[in-house]
Structure 1
């Protein structure tokens, strides 16, 4: 049975937003080397999840993308699994 805890989508959205912010912020906001290290660490942790939890994360991301009204954030949610290496190809 899949846990439908509302905390999971909320935290998933936050992870995506923080990763986007780290990727897009200027050098004056965050040291670029620190940003890259943090993004690599988050990606590594997510890739270490057991298969069933990775699938749950992919489903939560897809659900969030479907409900997202902002086209730019929707694209971000849709491209996130590809960007961190959870899936091989970005599905359009």
Structure 2
């Protein structure tokens, strides 16, 4: 069973355009990481809220990815666009 991960954050004033360029450059690596099934970006301009919606094979796969981008500096770069660290939540799909 796969898991869904949401990362919710607020983009700093004036930083959305450079963030969009950054994400366009980095998202292919996310989508190609072992265990990644899908990644979508959602943005609400009036509130500057950004959500990253990801599906992974497992929580362990996602956590390995987070460790990798923490070690290589990509997480620090991502956080530079935000007002604070993201709120990360894990969900399992419920088939009803």
Q: What is the TM-score normalised by the length of structure 2?
A: 0.31
Structure with the bigger RCO (C-alpha within 8 Å, sep 6+) is 2
Q: What is the TM-score normalised by the length of structure 1?
A: 0.32
Higher helix share: 1
